[in-house]
């Protein structure tokens, strides 16, 4: 490792203790950027990397609310405004009990590069809370969202910071958050994306992350003159990203075999077709049930519960050709990655953010499989959020076909940009390095142009 990069990494770890996910995300990016820094000493002179690692602003606030029993509950709210060199802060809100400062900083850091790759004018941010929507009534979720927005509203705005959804934040939560923002500020603006279609949302936004990940996989396969038709695919998660990943795989002639949630996974050798996916959508989005119910409903499918303390996840040991991790960070470790390669998988597109550990990424790179990292492969979601912002500014809505065509074009461009950057900097075919480099250059140049701020 280049000496200045290794010193920066040690300083970052010392300065941000207890934030392993943030260290991991920074390390992956820094390792890729060594050839860029060698060719461009101006970035090092201006301490661009040090500045990119340090958030422009971190907000941490109390979120008090009352549950259905009348008891007072207190959660913690966050917003990380990471980088605004190329546009307003943009990135989702995550509601999950595991949320902490380090996880949100990793997500905000990744978001800066991802948003840059989309070619749209969006800076990077991320936020959320350790609130767990699971098992809460709609009224409790609403009261929490209203309290959360009461503080957040002071810091965001359509030209400042535009949050969206992420784990635990879907259409229902965005609705409650938007309602409270509008009430507090007395203005109807595009301050959040992922809104309902009747009140400023964009067609294809719910589908965008999953569809985009599959478009990205199709582009990678095309470099080997292959398509998704007839390919078997392992998918994890069963939320927004996983559902639309399965939908697009099926539309392109592939067969999705698995889905999961935090309690376990199902394997269906018959494939999760349209009818079965409709069952999952009803189960997860309306009934808010568990994926185990799938196996009870469809004969031939098998449910395997999570085994506490297991060294690997058996979902990744099934034979298949493609894999789409769409649940959460670090869900594929080194052993899982080795099992995937052993099981015949040669194309992986990350729908979730940083779902593969650094060890796992190295297994994929060493095996020379097609590996699309999250920053590139799941950028479709934020890309369509950017398109939602454009439509809001114009007070005009594009058709489903228009948005889908723009999304497809953006995913093709991201794939090309990552591939070209990897080639230019001497690591051909390495999409990890390519995405980091291409995302970095645009932000770094903008920061140079804007002086020391």
Provide, rounded to whole angstroms, the least separation between the CB of residue 133 and ligand NDP.
Answer: 9
Query: Looking at beta carbons only, is 37 or 245 nearer to ligand NDP?
Result: 245
Q: Which residue is nearest to ligand NDP (CB)?
A: 239
Q: Which stretch binds ligand NDP (CB under 6 A): 36-44, 179-187, 256-264, 428-436?
A: 256-264
Question: How far apart are CB 219 and ligand NDP at their closest, in Å?
Answer: 18
Name the minimum Å distance from CB 432 to ligand NDP.
17
The residue written with tokens 């303390």 in the block is 309
Residue 213 found at the interface with ligand NDP (CB under 6 A): no
Residue 378 C-beta: closest distance to ligand NDP, Å: 4
Choose, by CB under 6 A, the member of 102, 127, 163, 168 that binds ligand NDP.
168
Residue 351 interacts with ligand NDP (CB under 6 A): yes or no: yes
Residue that is written with structure tokens 């506490």 in the block: 308
Select from 74-82, 165-173, 182-190, 363-371 the region that touches ligand NDP (CB under 6 A).
165-173
Residues 6+ apart with CB under 8 A from 395: none
CB 403 within 8 A of CB 207: no
Does position 373 interact with ligand NDP (CB under 6 A)? The reply is: no
Radius of gyration for the chain, computed over Cα atoms and rounded to the nearest angstrom = 21
Selected from 147, 250, 321, 328, the binder of ligand NDP by CB under 6 A is 328
Query: Which tokens in the block code for residue 156?
Result: 């965001």
Binding mask 259-288 for ligand NDP (x = CB under 6 A): --xxx-------------------------
Token readout for 108 is 């905000």
Binder of ligand NDP out of 75, 84, 378, 391 (CB under 6 A): 378
* 140 touches ligand NDP by CB under 6 A: no
Q: Is 360 in the site for ligand NDP (CB under 6 A)?
A: no
Complex with ligand NDP: residue 306 or 397, whichever CB lies closer: 306
Question: Smallest gap, in angstroms, from Cβ of residue 313 to ligand NDP?
Answer: 9
Closer residue to ligand NDP in complex, CB, 11/134: 134
Footprint on residues 380-399 left by ligand NDP (CB under 6 A): 381
Is residue 326 close enough to count as binding ligand NDP by CB under 6 A? Answer: yes
CB-wise, 7 or 98, nearer to ligand NDP? Answer: 98
Binding segment for ligand NDP (CB under 6 A), chosen from 34-42, 232-240, 422-430, 432-440, is: 232-240
Cα separation, 371 vs 74, in Å, equals 41
- Smallest separation (angstroms) from ligand NDP to the CB of 286: 13
Among 75, 83, 209, 321, binds ligand NDP (CB under 6 A): 209
Rounded distance, CA 214 to CA 229, Å? 12
Q: Which of 322, 354, 346, 212 is nearest to 257 (CA)?
A: 322
From the CB of 323, what's the least distance to ligand NDP, in Å? 14
**241 is an interface residue for ligand NDP by CB under 6 A:** yes
Nearest CB to ligand NDP, comparing residues 232 and 240: 240
Nearest approach in angstroms of CB 405 to ligand NDP is 19
Q: Which two tokens stand for residue 182?
A: 């509008």
126 among known catalytic residues: yes
238 is a contact residue toward ligand NDP (CB under 6 A): yes
Catalytic residue among 126, 195, 248, 284: 126
By annotation, the residues acting in catalysis are 126
Residues that bind ligand NDP (CB under 6 A): 165-168, 170, 209, 237-242, 261-263, 326-328, 351-353, 378, 381
């Amino acid at each position: 490792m280049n000496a200045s990069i290794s010193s920066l990494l040690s300083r970052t770890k010392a300065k941000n203790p207890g934030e392993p996910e943030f260290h991991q995300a920074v390390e992956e990016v820094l390792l890729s950027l060594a050839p860029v820094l060698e060719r461009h000493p101006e970035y090092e002179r201006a301490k661009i990397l040090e500045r990119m690692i340090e958030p422009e602003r971190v907000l941490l606030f109390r979120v008090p609310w009352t549950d259905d029993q009348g008891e007072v509950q207190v959660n913690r709210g966050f917003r990380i405004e990471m980088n605004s060199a190329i546009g307003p802060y943009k990135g989702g809100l995550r509601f999950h009990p595991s949320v902490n400062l380090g996880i949100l900083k990793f997500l905000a850091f990744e978001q800066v590069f991802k948003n840059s790759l989309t070619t749209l004018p969006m800076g990077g941010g991320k936020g959320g809370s350790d609130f767990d929507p699971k098992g809460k009534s709609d009224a409790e979720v609403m009261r929490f969202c209203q309290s959360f927005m009461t503080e957040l509203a002071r810091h965001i705005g359509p030209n400042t910071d535009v949050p969206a959804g992420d784990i635990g934040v879907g259409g229902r939560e965005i609705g409650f958050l938007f309602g409270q923002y509008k009430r507090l500020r007395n203005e109807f603006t595009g301050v959040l994306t992922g809104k309902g279609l009747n009140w400023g949302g964009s067609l294809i936004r719910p589908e965008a992350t999953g569809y985009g990940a599959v478009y990205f996989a199709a582009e990678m396969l095309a470099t080997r003159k292959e398509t998704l038709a007839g390919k078997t695919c392992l998918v994890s998660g069963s939320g927004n990203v996983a559902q639309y990943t399965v939908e697009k795989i099926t539309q392109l002639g592939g067969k999705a075999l698995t889905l999961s949630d935090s309690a376990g996974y199902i394997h269906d050798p018959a494939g999760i077709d349209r009818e079965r996916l409709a069952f999952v959508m009803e189960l997860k989005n309306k009934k808010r049930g568990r994926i185990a119910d799938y196996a009870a409903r469809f004969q031939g499918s098998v449910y395997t519960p999570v085994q506490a303390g297991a060294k690997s996840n058996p979902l990744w040991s099934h034979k298949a050709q493609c894999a789409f991790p769409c649940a959460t960070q670090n869900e594929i470790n080194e052993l899982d990655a080795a099992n995937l390669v052993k099981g015949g998988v040669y194309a992986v597109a990350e729908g979730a953010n940083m779902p593969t550990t650094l060890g796992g990424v190295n297994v994929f790179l060493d095996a020379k499989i097609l590996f699309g990292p999250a920053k590139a492969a799941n950028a479709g979601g934020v890309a369509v959020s950017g398109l939602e912002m454009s439509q809001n500014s114009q007070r005009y809505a594009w058709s489903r076909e228009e948005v889908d065509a723009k999304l497809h074009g953006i995913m093709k461009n991201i794939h090309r940009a990552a591939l070209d950057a990897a080639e230019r900097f001497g690591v051909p075919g390495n999409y990890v390095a390519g995405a980091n480099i291409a995302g970095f250059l645009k932000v770094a140049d903008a920061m140079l142009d804007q002086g020391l701020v």
